[in-house]
Structure 1
Amino acid sequence: MSNAPNKPNKYQQTVIVNVAVAVIHHKEQYLLGFRNATQHQGNRYEFVGGKIDTNESAEQAVIREVAEETGIATHNNAIVKLGRLHHDYGDKQVSLQVYKIELTAMQYEQHKNCQYGLEGQALTWVDKPDLLAEKYHLPAANKTILKWLSVPARIAITYPLTQFNAYSEPEAAWLQYHQKNLTRQTWVYVRVKDVTSKNMAAQLMHLRPDILAIVSPDDDSAFLEIEDSIKGINSHNQVVAHHLTHTALMQWFDNIQNISASEPLLSTTHPLILSCHDAASIHAANKLASVRLQQQRPPVIGAFLSPVLATQTHPDTEPLGWEVWSELAQLADIPIIGLGGLSPTMIDQALQYGGISVAGIRQFF
């Protein structure tokens, strides 16, 4: 019998390890473990988590893993799905199901000084800004999770330009209103549908260098074009994401199904936030998120899922309601943002039904 080592069979199916990940935090403090040098992706920090057992749901697994690794019982805590992602390390493929778990003040006080977990691993609490700035070396698959965590609990959306048609100079009135009324350092989706006003997003960012903006790629180009023409301006880093409408998302999805059609060019410079309204668009969003990861482009960091409730802007559109909205959110592989008839105070309700954030116009200024 030959003693030669077994060669890998090229037809052998790749084994994917299913992992539940717990992003544990109390306010702005996040818990990280440290992987031993002998482990896969060793000498790196990591979120708590582990393999999902047979006949165990991802949420059951994350509760069990947290208890086994840290001794923290989280079955009564708010557990919110962030998303799912697949990563190929070359020597190993993992499918991560990621949950965000907020500890109570009592739980945090009990565990904030624990330097080691129950399995002997080093534990440390880190500030969220330092975590998002990648000051802690995490496995490659975790970089997308950091982008997800950057999405705030509340996002403002600008009024349509038509709201200011009664003014002699609608664009000037639009700019003045938003410059004055936007909360400081907020994320704002600058939605100006008037094709003749593409530079309005750029002008607003110039007037309010503290805000972080979600814009269309066209608005982003306008920003670059006039950046040098207005003095005393903040940098292009104000743009945190590009927005893809429901129509553009479905067009992209339809095109990739047609092998004769060329793939539409999407932003390669910024993360994406999408608009979804139903199961079909959630499916398309999941596909796009997967493609972005495979192509190592900035990830999809969220999707506006709307309308949750009835809105003044679209009074004839049938709202999803919280129950249907929640069912759709569970289908998503990316974080879900509630939109439509919501107020900032509804964030707890959105978390309860599977979202991570709420967005809106009238009540967010």
Structure 2
Amino acid sequence: MTAVQDIHVAVGVIFREGNVLIARRPDHVHQGGLLEFPGGKVEAGETVQQALVREIREETGLRIPPDTLEPVIEIRHDYGDKRVILDVWETSTAEGEPEGREGQEIRWLDVRELADADFPAANRPIIRALRLPRHYAITGSALSAEAFLKQVQERVKEAPPELCLLRAPEFSEEVYVELADWSLEVCQASESALMLHGAPSLLEHSPGVSGLHLPWQEARQHSARPVPSGYLLAISCHNEEEIAHAGQLQADFITLGPVKPTPSHPGAPGMGWGRFRELVAAATVPVYALGGLSPQDVAEARRAGAQGIAGISFWWPRV
């Protein structure tokens, strides 16, 4: 039996004037004809950053100052005949004008133009990561439905989030659906994307939302992706088993925690950044760090492999 080959690949996400540099793979190579983010194999003795600077220079002529590279996501993907580890880094300070020095087509594209079907499967989590913000705001508790809606209106007006999770377990499903409709209007007016929290059936009542976040107790009941591809799917995870199941369900991103002790889960110990980093390494989708975090923790979360942070306290005032 032939051993499956492991390939460590450095991938560059190069921004310029709001667009990202994309190349087309030659027809004769693996996954030929598809689009990709430029980069190449990490050679023995090289750091990922060194490999990326070298590969980008060889492929496109662009010069990248190594200290401008920031981590995006690390992806492990099994194609069957080969396993790849994609180490993805981004920069917006590449110097020079790009050219396809290996005969490949290259072009600048808006991130919103990137379509899953045009890329190898392993590249698709990169697209998710580029579209997702650094902060995932979550609604907290309120004394009544009216107070809850007032808080949503005030918070979205004062600090509009790019992505917001409508989490309100204290209310009935009937009240939650009404809150979702009202909150969607508020979020759309501020160009904030709204995620619902609960069962897939909620989307039947509020089809205009951006997606659905499954709590683990709901996610464990499904064996395949339970929402259409036009919606984002998020899943709450806490360990390796749950992360693996989220991958099986083709989640677009997950939350992982608690990293630190948090008032919303009294008595639950935080896993700490070391354990968080270990778990993120097993994920195949973007991961938001969750639990007792503030905007000041974003840099630490990013160093641990996270997309950013998710939470209630940094956005929603305590009752």
Tell me the TM-score normalised to structure 2 length.
0.78
Q: Which of 144, 151, 163 is the aligned partner of 1:177?
A: 151
Confirm or deny that 1:238 pairs with 2:212: no
1:18 corresponding residue in structure 2:
7
2:195 corresponding residue in structure 1:
214
Distance 1:145 1:179, change over 3 A: same
What does 1:271-286 correspond to in 2, within 5 Å?
271-277=232-238, 281-286=239-244
Task: Report how far residue 158 of structure 1 moved.
Answer: 0.4
Q: Which of 148, 164, 173 is the aligned partner of 1:188?
A: 164
Q: Which of 178, 184, 193 is the aligned partner of 1:205?
A: 184
8 Å Cα contact 2:135-2:161 kept in structure 1:
no
8 Å Cα contact 2:15-2:91 kept in structure 1:
yes
Q: Which of 93, 103, 108 is the aligned partner of 1:125?
A: 108
Where structure 2 has 5 or more consecutive residues not aligned to the other structure, the ranges are none
Partner SS, residue 174 of structure 1: helix
1:103 corresponding residue in structure 2:
91
Tell me the TM-score normalised to structure 1 length.
0.70
8 Å Cα contact 1:21-1:47 kept in structure 2:
no
Structure whose alpha-carbon radius of gyration is higher: 1
Task: Report how far residue 53 of structure 1 moved.
Answer: 6.1
Partner SS, residue 364 of structure 1: coil
Paired with 1:139 and 1:84, the residues of 2 have a C-alpha distance of: 13
Identical columns (%): 24
Paired with 1:364 and 1:99, the residues of 2 have a C-alpha distance of: 31
What does 1:287-306 correspond to in 2, within 5 Å?
287-289=245-247, 291-292=248-249, 299-306=250-257
Which is further off, 76-85 or 12-21?
A: 12-21
2:289 corresponding residue in structure 1:
338
Query: Aligned-pair RMSD on alpha carbons?
Result: 3.4
8 Å Cα contact 1:283-1:332 kept in structure 2:
no
Where structure 1 has 5 or more consecutive residues not aligned to the other structure, the ranges are 1-11, 228-235, 253-262, 293-298
8 Å Cα contact 1:21-1:96 kept in structure 2:
no
Paired with 1:22 and 1:223, the residues of 2 have a C-alpha distance of: 36
Paired with 2:113 and 2:223, the residues of 1 have a C-alpha distance of: 36
Cα deviation 1:102-128 (Å, max 9, x = unaligned) = 2253xx2x13x22234x3434333222
1:267 corresponding residue in structure 2:
226
2:136 corresponding residue in structure 1:
155
Distance 1:79 1:145, change over 3 A: closer
8 Å Cα contact 2:23-2:35 kept in structure 1:
yes
